[in-house]
A and B are shown apart, each in its own frame.
Chain A
Amino acid sequence: MTLMKNLMGAAATLALTAGLASAEPAIIYDLGGKFDKSFNEAAFNGAEKWAKETGGTYKELEMQNEAQREQALRSLAEEGANPIVTTGFGMSDPIAAVAADFPDTKFVTIDGWVDPAAHPNVLTIGFSEHEGSYLVGMMAAMASKTGTVSFIGGMDIPLIRNFACGYAQGAKAVKPDVTFISSMTGTTPAAWNDPVKGAELAKAQKAQGSDVIFAAAGGTGVGVLQAAADEGILSVGVDSNQNYLFPGKVLTSMLKRVDVAVYNSMKAGDALDTTTQTLDLKADGVGYAMDDNNAALVTPEMKAAVDAAADKIKSGELVVHDYRTDNMCPAAEF
């Protein structure tokens, strides 16, 4: 019996120390996949930056289907990963279901929403996509020769409509008579990975007169950018800087600094503060991309106008409507 007790004690100690030693952060990528050249890739870049700077290691998982989410969270939490950073709105409900079982583990949901009052160990990080989209919308309207700009979304959810709404507001702010067209790829998660349909949507929008297309559609967006380049019109990338995909054909990219969110969460580690964060333009959470690939497309006047608007948004003088507050958009109909 004593022997048994000793053994159990030893095992418990071992488990505890093992737990302490492996308190490394973890990241779960959403269905679009780690290298989607967009949202999830930005998260990966943030994690890599953290690993490079601190010399630490992190665990990572890629979701392959909806059913894996809760199981993935549980297994990472049981392995002692802390904090567990997740990307995509789809992780919210699974986190809400799991968080209470692991009170000492911190969870981060980027783009999701988990009630902080009910789950004090969950950090919700959101972005002001409408502000960044507003800026690229201005740029699109100024670059458009036909007076029609358009938007292609992935799955039809309020978050994606917020991109479209900000974009339409920006476009109409520069040219009040601009025509705005919006299309969604689908209503299921498959809409994030259908480049063929994305390309056809882009061609359909071109036929309706659009010559600048903003794609917020994950892997589908690659098809949109491809078709726009093939058809000789401009496109706007999303989340990561996608200007390099088709140099000289992508007007700019709406940046969503998921990398910053991931980096900060991993850096904070166990001591992560779980007060809900919204990374807006002021906090450099969103923005637009300038580099050698699009330098020739963006005139100094365009840049000046966009930067002036950015300053106004930062100071609070200009307020861009957030679609998610009332599910309405002043500049576009869905």
Chain B
Amino acid sequence: MDYDTLMQILGSTVRLGTPLLLACLAGLFSERSGVFDIGLEGKMLAAAMAAATVAFMTGSAWIGLGAGIVASLLFSALHGLASITFKGNQLISGVALNFLASGLTVLIAQALFKQGGRTPALAGDARFNPIDLPFAEALKDLPLLGPLYAQVISGHSILVYAAFAAVPLSWWLLNRTRFGLRLRAAGENPAALDTAGVSVVRMRYAALFITGVLCGLAGAYMATALQAGFGREMTAGRGYIALAALIFAKWRALPALGATMLFGFFQALALRPDVVEAVTHVKISGSFLDALPYILTVIAVAGFIGKSIPPRAGGEPYVKER
């Protein structure tokens, strides 16, 4: 495998890994606050549909992004209402929201555009186009670093850079601020948080708010940057892969970047069976590479890479003692 091919695969990794990264960070916030969120998929799907629809109507990708975030926040609010306020089962609420998103997105898109649940193709400013970072052209011929800069780091849409910036930001917010400490306490020991006079309910809603924003970014990225429009079920299970990545990353922000990019790398490799064959000299089926993230997650959960312990109060609605 030559260097150029590697760069091409890494570029593909970044594009495929970004939706996973955003969704994984989204899951990080909600799960760290004690709310399991299996509905990441549904939120992304709703955001993708809303972003594509509004971007098409207004001709602005930015307004579309706003609409995507609002749609995702609505789903977050529903999840919070069911599983925080009414203390319902978080998993069931999440699954229900996934089904709701799957049906509702197609229904609305079909009612608006009559194209079988698809939104019309976006063009020009209605899409987040790739941006070339400064000097990408000039540095291209530099050995090693040039192609890396030009092909892997430069040339993505603004949302990709936002996603990468969200990683240190999430780490700082969770680990270095009072808000983060309280958010984590809501997921580990909500009774202690309550005793300290902080509202667990409010903390969990705040976490779901951040989850909604991040899922909105992920959905909008897929519909208005990677693709030029919404298609039915276009998230294709990425919300679940993100959950697997979250477990693999042991519910921490920085490893989440590594886990999602690793999963993205496997997906990118699966697209290039010729390269895999050239490197390993064995014919490996693409389906096996597609399955690798899940296999790795099983290994992670089984404890081979150290313990992966979920937040202690995760999955349980908080009931104030009387």
Contacts and interface: CB of A to CB of B under 8 A. Distances in A.
Given A41-B116, A203-B12, A226 B228 contact: yes
A199 B237 CA distance: 17
B236 A190 contact: yes
A-B residue pairs, 9 tightest by C-beta: A35-B116, A204-B271, A194-B236, A207-B8, A33-B116, A193-B233, A195-B231, A196-B226, A35-B115
A10 B82 CA distance: 52
Q: With a 10 A CB-CB cut-off, give which of A187, A190, A195 has the most chain B CB atoms.
A: A195
Nearest to B273: A183
Q: With a 10 A CB-CB cut-off, give which of B231, B232, B268 has the most chain A CB atoms.
A: B231
Contact of B233 (A184, A186, A190): A190
Interface string B227-242: 1100111101100000
A208 interface: yes
Contact of B290 (A186, A199, A223): A186
A187 B117 CA distance: 24
B135 to A, nearest CB: 23
Interface string B256-289: 0000000000011001111000000000001100
Given A195-B227, A204-B12, A207-B8, A183 B271 contact: yes
B232 A33 contact: yes
Contacts of A234: none
Contacts of B290: 186
Given A184-B286, A190-B233, A194-B236, A226 B271 contact: no
Interface of A: 33-37, 41, 181, 183-184, 186-187, 190, 193-197, 199-201, 203-204, 207-208, 219, 222-223, 226, 245
B79 interface: no
B287 A186 contact: yes
Given A186-B290, A219-B231, A204 B236 contact: no
A193 B236 CA distance: 7
A200 B227 contact: no
Contacts of A223: 227, 231
Given A33-B116, A195-B227, A219 B121 contact: no
B204 interface: no
Given A201-B271, A219-B118, 20 more contacts: A33-B117, A34-B116, A35-B114, A35-B115, A37-B115, A181-B274, A184-B286, A186-B290, A194-B236, A196-B16, A196-B222, A196-B236, A197-B271, A199-B227, A200-B16, A203-B12, A204-B12, A204-B271, A223-B227, A223-B231
A32 B274 CA distance: 29
B231 A193 contact: yes
Contacts of A194: 234, 236
Contacts, number: 78
Interface of A, secondary structure class, is helix
A25 B233 CA distance: 30
15 contacts: A33-B106, A35-B110, A36-B116, A37-B116, A190-B236, A195-B231, A196-B19, A197-B267, A200-B15, A204-B8, A207-B5, A207-B8, A223-B231, A226-B227, A226-B228
Interface string B103-133: 0001000100011111001000000000000
Contacts of A219: 118, 231-232
A115 B231 CA distance: 35
Nearest to B227: A195
Contacts of A207: 5, 8
Contacts of B273: 183
A196 B227 contact: yes
Nearest to A218: B231
B126 to A, nearest CB: 13
B220 to A, nearest CB: 13
Given A35-B116, A190-B236, A207-B5, A200 B268 contact: yes
